[in-house]
Amino acid sequence: MAIIKGDFIDNLPKVYGLYTGGFVVFILLMAILEQAGLGADTIGILFVAFTVVIYATIGWLSRTMQVDAYYVAGRQVPAVFNGMATAADWMSGASFVAMAGGIYFGGHGYIAFVVGWTGGYVLVASLMAPYLRKFGCYTVPDFIGTRYGGNLARFLAVCVLTLASFTYVTAQINATGTIASRALQIPFEVGVWFGLLGILLCSMLGGMRAVTWTQVAQYIVLIIAYLVPVIWMSNKQGFGLIPQLVYGDAVMRLGELETLHGVGAKEAIASPIAGLKALTVAHYEAGTTFAAKWKFVTLVFCMMAGTASLPHILMRYFTTPSVKAARQSVAWSLFFIFLLYFTAPALATFTKLQVLDPNLATGIIGKAITEVNALDWIQKWSNVGFLAISDSNGDGILQINEFFMRGDIVVLATPEIAGLPYVISGLVAAGGMAAAMSTADGLLLAIANALSHDLYYKIIDPKADTKHRLIVARVLLIVIGACGAYVASMKLTSILGAVAWAFDFAMSGLFFPLVLGVWWKRANRQGAIAGMFFGLLAGTWYLYMVKWGGMDPWLYIDHLRFGIIGASVSLVAMVVVSLATTEPDEETQRMVDEVRIPKGESVLSSTH
Amino acid sequence: MTDVDQSTREAHWAKTKGLMITTLIIWFIFSYLIHWFADSLNAVSFLGFPLGFYMAAQGSLVIFVVLIFWFARRQHAIDVEHGVAEDETSGQQN
């Protein structure tokens, strides 16, 4: 299709400008239809269906039968657009739906996730992305396999990648299923398969090229969907147009309200519905004990090292036109991610204020329970089991320890709590869908590409022709997607538990082999194999023992932080074994020299 | 192999390493060090926020964004200085 060739790249700002304008017009149209009496359910369906059809169209227009277009989008994605695509790739259903809720319940301690998921990009920029771009690989195991040599190293890298990404992708398919089922009014199990269908339409025909251009489109939808309700709400409350800068007063006010309502001071009551929580943690107070501080920094470290080892993120920087553009692109990625991440704590603060402040019309804590039960949003969300009220002391007044909810509500229900029109709720559903789909796309592609390029082409059948390779890649994409959807439909773990594990798996097996591959010439094949094998083994063993084996965590390193154990073992094993065996041959050393300077041909040729 | 002599490569890598270390020191301070003292910092008010909370919710993030943009510029300057930056046109075709 002519639209995706040559001048398409020059016209990117125009194309996506028009797209954004079109989306805004669609939102306004929905708002008008809502005024005209269109039902809330129909609006929700239209939002999700309209955006998914657009992504699928982009996916279809980007179809390709060329290897470098399929694997690395032809290496022509400009830094800024790759930044947007990475931001969508990165911000998952968990970031979109669960993060603000996590901060609502977890306060300062939970914000460790926010710090970790942004600061990791400093490691990506300074240690990894530009060098991997110069290398010219198609996948992350492609780098490991070529730098260290040998099929075993490549195979182990494929194993770590698959384990980490698959853990992550089930959570994303789960999120698409949840959102699709709610917006389209279908059962969750059907929603999961519907979500998968959308994801495959975006990625199957055009590989990385299609995923790139749909992710840019998805970023635009998700950031509008996240920012509009927050800005609207803060405007209503008199916090102005850039609420992120001025919510300090709201934070301080929460401190007073927590004392007033006795947050954390009242006795804990069991929630009438499993999985719902009452607010017990102060909003801004930071831990004073060694344990609390240590838990904060170890969580930050795991999320950062995991960020820098997750293949679906690293492979986005293989698509830029140059090494310089790869570096700039990391900066733009973090900028676009930052727009959402510095809004999440503001959203959590505003929502909490709405619920807690008796001076606001929306405040419910301290009000009569009959009055609270009559509210629309309370009825709607308690009907679906997201919220519960239990008057345990029988005084007819809602206390802080008698109000239970699910964290996801903070994003999903805030428009209703603040009394915004339903069109905003539809927009939020479309945003959540975009966030979960774009991450699932990137992850599925990372797994399928590693299996098709590294396992099938490089190890099993090096003589396979282009057509064969690309057909295998697509078949794998469908198979892995189906496995992911099947696992997701069994609802094994909560969304966020699984997401944190993906980071820990990735850092256990890949962090040091990747970093030392560039920064330590002496690192050799035996060392890398030992590093990946023992790192992954130790991490997995520790996770098993702490989570299911009844072992007490060492030094507060719990199941969310098992990457610390894995990565430490990986580092020691890699250094010891490298030094105990012969240094890499001269050719490998020259390869490392080449990777370290941007000038010249990439190490691997453009179609390998 | 690209035609760059060994001494240039070594000088370039030494500077690149220096920049990496500087970047990671700043990263370490704003990722770990200040959050360790978040409880004490909360006694300080910054733009109306308790400072410890502000740094986690916003301050560190702003610094990370600026840090990476600065890093990308500095690294490019180092590459140009040692004559190992990419040829703009060949980079585009790659």
What does the pLDDT average to over A51-63?
92
Kind and range of the H or E element at A272?
none
Q: Say which of A122, A252, A597 has its CB closest to residue B27.
A: A122
Predicted model pTM: 0.94
**Of A94-98, A112-116, A435-439, which gets the smallest average pLDDT?**
A94-98
Distance CA A35, CA A478 (A): 42
Q: Is B65 in Cβ contact with A597 (below 8 Å)?
A: no
Q: Is B31 helix (H, G, I), strand (E, B) or coil?
A: helix
Q: Which pLDDT belongs to residue A201?
A: 87
Q: Is B30 in Cβ contact with A125 (below 8 Å)?
A: no
Q: Is A324 in Cβ contact with B86 (below 8 Å)?
A: yes
Q: Is A26 helix (H, G, I), strand (E, B) or coil?
A: helix
Q: Which pLDDT belongs to residue A175?
A: 82
Distance CA A65, CA A63 (A): 7
Mean pLDDT of all residues belonging to chain A? 90
Distance CA A139, CA A370 (A): 58
Distance CA A62, CA A56 (A): 10
Q: Is A405 helix (H, G, I), strand (E, B) or coil?
A: strand
Q: Say which of A255, A297, A598 has its CB closest to residue B35.
A: A297
Q: Which pLDDT belongs to residue B89?
A: 52
pLDDT over 90, % of chain B: 84
Question: In this complex, is the C-beta atom of B44 within 8 Å of any C-beta atom belonging to chain A?
Answer: no
pLDDT tens sequence across A424-461: 988 998 999 999 999 999 999 999 999 999 999 999 99
Token pair recorded at residue A411? 């994003």
pLDDT over 80 (residue A57): yes
pLDDT over 60 (residue A105): yes
**Of A141-150, A276-285, A482-491, which gets the smallest average pLDDT?**
A482-491
pLDDT over 90 (residue A44): no
Q: Is A77 helix (H, G, I), strand (E, B) or coil?
A: coil
CA distances from A452 to A147, A209, A456, A461 (A): 19, 17, 5, 10
Q: Which pLDDT belongs to residue A604?
A: 85
Q: State the pLDDT confidence band at A507, using cuts at 50, 70 and 90.
A: very high
Give B35's contacts in chain A (Cβ within 8 Å): 112, 115, 286, 293, 296-297, 300
Token pair recorded at residue A184? 């389209």
Beta-bridge mates of residue A389 = A403
Give the closest-approach CA distance of B66 to chain A in angstroms: 8
pLDDT over 70 (residue A582): yes
Higher pLDDT pick, A266 / A506 = A506
Question: In this complex, is the C-beta atom of A600 within 8 Å of any C-beta atom belonging to chain B?
Answer: yes
pLDDT over 90, % of chain A: 61
Question: In this complex, is the C-beta atom of A244 within 8 Å of any C-beta atom belonging to chain B?
Answer: yes
Q: Which pLDDT belongs to residue A567?
A: 97
pLDDT tens sequence across A119-139: 999 999 999 999 999 999 999
pLDDT over 70 (residue A1): no
**b/e map B33-51, b = 16+ CB within 10 Å:** ebbbebbebbeeeeeebbb
Of A310, A321, A309, residue with least CA distance to A446: A310
Beta-bridge mates of residue B46 = B49
Query: How far from the centroid of its chain's Cα atoms is residue B1's Cα?
Result: 29
Nearest CA in chain A to B8: A597
pLDDT over 80 (residue A491): no
Q: Do the beta carbons of residue A96 and residue A222 sit within 8 Å?
A: yes
Give A75's contacts in chain B (Cβ within 8 Å): 94
pLDDT over 80 (residue A2): no
What does the pLDDT average to over A140-167?
94
Measured at the CA of A14, the angle between CA A12 and CA A15, to 5 degrees, comes to 65
pLDDT over 80 (residue B88): no
Instruction: Please report the residues numbered 50 through 109 in chain A whose beta carbons come closer than 8 angstroms to any beta carbon of chain B.
Output: 75, 108
Measured at the CA of A573, the angle between CA A568 and CA A574, to 5 degrees, comes to 100
Q: State the pLDDT confidence band at A182, using cuts at 50, 70 and 90.
A: confident
Q: Which pLDDT belongs to residue A348?
A: 93
What does the pLDDT average to over A172-176?
84
Question: In this complex, is the C-beta atom of A334 within 8 Å of any C-beta atom belonging to chain B?
Answer: yes
Q: Say which of B56, B76, B87 has its CB closest to residue A114.
A: B56
Residues in chain A: 608
Q: Say which of A338, A599, A606 has its CB closest to residue B4.
A: A599
User: Mean pLDDT: which of A15-24, A165-174, A488-497 is highest?
Assistant: A15-24
Give the closest-approach CA distance of B85 to chain A in angstroms: 5
Nearest CA in chain B to A291: B36
Q: Which pLDDT belongs to residue A480?
A: 93
Q: Which residue has the tokens 């996801």?
A: A408
Query: How far from the centroid of its chain's Cα atoms is residue B80's Cα?
Result: 18
pLDDT over 70 (residue A5): no
Q: Do the beta carbons of residue A450 and residue A472 sit within 8 Å?
A: no
What does the pLDDT average to over A473-490?
89
Distance CA A38, CA A60 (A): 31
Give B77's contacts in chain A (Cβ within 8 Å): none
Give the closest-approach CA distance of A288 to chain B in angstroms: 6
Q: Do the beta carbons of residue A273 and residue A404 sit within 8 Å?
A: yes
pLDDT tens sequence across A294-329: 999 999 999 999 999 999 999 999 999 999 999 999
Nearest CA in chain A to B47: A248
Domains of chain B: which residue ranges? Answer: 8-84
Q: Is B83 in Cβ contact with A245 (below 8 Å)?
A: no
Token pair recorded at residue B89? 């046109």
Q: Do the beta carbons of residue A303 and residue A120 sit within 8 Å?
A: yes
Q: State the pLDDT confidence band at A412, using cuts at 50, 70 and 90.
A: confident
Instruction: Please report the residues numbered 571 through 590 in chain A whose beta carbons come closer than 8 angstroms to any beta carbon of chain B.
Output: 590
Q: Is A112 in Cβ contact with B71 (below 8 Å)?
A: no
CA dihedral of residues A329, A142, A443, A49 (deg, nearest 10): 70
pLDDT over 70 (residue A4): no
Distance CA A423, CA B50 (A): 35
Q: CB atoms < 10 A from the CB of A589, how many?
A: 13
Of A571, A534, A518, A532, residue with least CA distance to A137: A518
Question: In this complex, is the C-beta atom of A291 within 8 Å of any C-beta atom belonging to chain B?
Answer: no
Give B91's contacts in chain A (Cβ within 8 Å): 321-325
Kind and range of the H or E element at A96?
none
Token pair recorded at residue A135? 């290398």
Q: Is A321 in Cβ contact with B58 (below 8 Å)?
A: no
Q: Is A38 helix (H, G, I), strand (E, B) or coil?
A: coil
pLDDT over 90 (residue A335): yes
Give A116's contacts in chain B (Cβ within 8 Å): 31
Question: In this complex, is the C-beta atom of B79 within 8 Å of any C-beta atom belonging to chain A?
Answer: yes
**Of A336-345, A347-356, B49-58, which gets the smallest average pLDDT?**
A347-356
Q: Which pLDDT belongs to residue A498?
A: 67
- Residue of B53, B71, B76 best to disrupt the A interface, most CBs of A under 10 A: B53
pLDDT over 80 (residue A253): yes
The one-letter amino acid at A568:
S
Q: Is B48 in Cβ contact with A246 (below 8 Å)?
A: yes
Domain spanning A2-258+277-351+419-497, CATH architecture: Up-down Bundle (1.20)
Q: Is A477 helix (H, G, I), strand (E, B) or coil?
A: helix
